[in-house]
Amino acid sequence: MTAGVKRRRPKRWTPGRLLLSRIARFWREQFRIWRTAFDWTVLLYLVVPGLWMLGGLWLEMLREPPAWLTALPPELAVALFALLLFAGRLRTFLEDADALVLLQRRNWIRTLKIGGAVYTLAVTAVSTALAFAALLPWLRLHDAFDAGGLVLWAVLTAACRSLAAAARRLVASLLGGWKRWAAHIALSLALIAYYAWAIFAADGSAGWLGACAAPAFAGWAAAVGFLARMRGGYETDLRAELRARTASAGLLVSAAGIEHKPAPEWKRPIVFPRSGRILRASDPGAVLAEMRIKAFLRQFRRLGQGFQIIAVSAVALISVPGWVSPVLAAVLMALVASWLQRDWREWMDEPFVSQFRWEEAAVRRGATLSRFWIMLPAAVWFAGVAGWRFAGWLGALAGVPAGVGLWALINAAMHDLPAMKRRPVDEGSVERDASE
């Protein structure tokens, strides 16, 4: 080395530089994952033409809205955006090796957590803006809010989404077991109620939306500050980071038909710990129905999804006019029943259940019976809310039995739907059966 050339010193690592490097590495990983499914041929022949067509359709709807878009009530958008409140997770960019190096440096951990929260807020703002932009041809048709009101509505949605992500992470770090899931359900219902109340009480006032967004941002900042100072919850952050980094890969794997079963969290189930009988009938179809009901109620993730669906559906039923609510209640019953039917088929494909040779009649009876009892509380709720919107409290009392009868008819009409996934025929097993 010549004397005139100075040796270049390596850059010194700082908490901010570490955060930026991990964010950049995360996006490089996501790019490599999606590149496995979307090569240049897919982009050239499918993605780019599809985006071009969707963009042209969006511009056409923006210039000349179709009649069906004009007929949609603007209150339905509240239910759609309420579903968006929980579509995200708080990022911290912590890794396993940090337990050996960074846990002794609280300022580094604090920088990663706060920086991850700010990154989550930025991503949430961008995704919320894209959602509002996609629905702009529909939202601009109604005079509920002007341009400034729509912007503040998007700000309120982003604030509630950020608050939901931080609050759910705080609950997951402090509680465990059934208490965690109960707190998640209560938190979800409270956030949906606050979000719907803020929009409906605004009555076209943009300033009211901004005033309601301020407490949501304050709650987000308080939750993030508490998480940054808290010494526990490191395992919860690591699990959340692992899910965030593998979410894209999991989506591609699920699209390919490969399902990953989560590991059990308890040695003994909390719901039906003794696995006693819950139905009087003892035929194979009733046995299958009992197994499915117990399996469904023991999955807190499924119950959380169900409670969120019920809450959002209640907002939709309250938002539409009274004469539309009974029709919407029937549509919601059919949609949830379709989701349960698809979930039943996935459950029938599990190794323990699929190892037995169930008769087709027993499978259909089990699907119909389990679907009826799982969906019955939601059907009663839908019918009661629709009856209340249609004719007050007397309508709610009369709507409950009518809703139960309607749900029984819908459930019976779905009896002939496929209850098992089609599997390739094993020629060897067919020959063995024929020889027997």
In a domain, 268, yes or no: no
Same domain, 185 and 282: no
In a domain, 428, yes or no: no
Q: If pLDDT is split at 50, 70 and 90, which confidence band does 298 have?
A: confident
Quick check: 278 pLDDT over 60? yes
SS3 6: coil
Structural domain count of the chain? 2
Give the range of the structural domain holding residue 225, as residue numbers without chain letter: 15-250
Which of 250, 267, 286 is the last residue in one of the domains?
Answer: 250
Which of 208, 230, 250 is the last residue in one of the domains?
Answer: 250
Q: If pLDDT is split at 50, 70 and 90, which confidence band does 365 have?
A: confident
- Give the pTM: 0.64
| Average pLDDT, integer, range 71-86 | 79
Quick check: 20 pLDDT over 80? yes
* 83-131 tens-digit pLDDT: 888 888 888 888 877 777 666 777 888 888 899 999 999 999 999 999 9
Alpha-carbon distance of 292 to 269, in angstroms, equals 14
Q: If pLDDT is split at 50, 70 and 90, which confidence band does 136 have?
A: confident
Average pLDDT value for the chain: 78
Same domain, 282 and 245: no
- Spatial CB neighbours of 294, under 8 Å, sequence gap ≥ 6: 269, 271, 272, 275, 278
Q: Which amino acid would we find at residue 372?
A: F
Which range is least confidently modeled, 51-55, 272-276, 428-432? 428-432
- End-to-end CA, the chain: 85
Same domain, 372 and 241: no
For helices 15-35 and 247-255, angle between their N-to-C axes, nearest 10 degrees:
10
Q: If pLDDT is split at 50, 70 and 90, which confidence band does 42 have?
A: low
Structure tokens at 3: 């004397």
Same domain, 92 and 148: yes
Q: What local confidence, expressed as pLDDT, does residue 69 receive?
A: 74
Structure tokens at 259: 């399902």
At 53, which helix (H) or strand (E)? helix 48-63
Half-sphere exposure of 219 (CA within 13 A, CB side): 21
Same domain, 411 and 296: yes
Q: If pLDDT is split at 50, 70 and 90, which confidence band does 280 have?
A: confident
Q: What local confidence, expressed as pLDDT, does residue 8 receive?
A: 63
In a domain, 224, yes or no: yes
Residue closest to 387 by CA, chosen among 296, 300, 336, 318: 318
Same domain, 125 and 80: yes
Q: What local confidence, expressed as pLDDT, does residue 330 receive?
A: 87
* 386-425 tens-digit pLDDT: 888 888 888 888 888 888 888 888 888 887 666 565 554 4
Same domain, 231 and 329: no
In a domain, 8, yes or no: no
Q: Which residue has the higher pLDDT, 191 or 254?
A: 191
Residue closest to 370 by CA, chosen among 415, 404, 426, 406: 415
Q: If pLDDT is split at 50, 70 and 90, which confidence band does 271 have?
A: low
In a domain, 306, yes or no: yes
| Average pLDDT, integer, range 136-161 | 83
Residue closest to 295 by CA, chosen among 358, 335, 338, 353: 353
Q: What local confidence, expressed as pLDDT, does residue 18 receive?
A: 86
In a domain, 256, yes or no: no
Same domain, 244 and 296: no
**283 phi-psi bin (left φ>0, alpha ψ -120 to 50, beta other):** beta
Quick check: 435 pLDDT over 70? no
Same domain, 287 and 177: no
In a domain, 3, yes or no: no
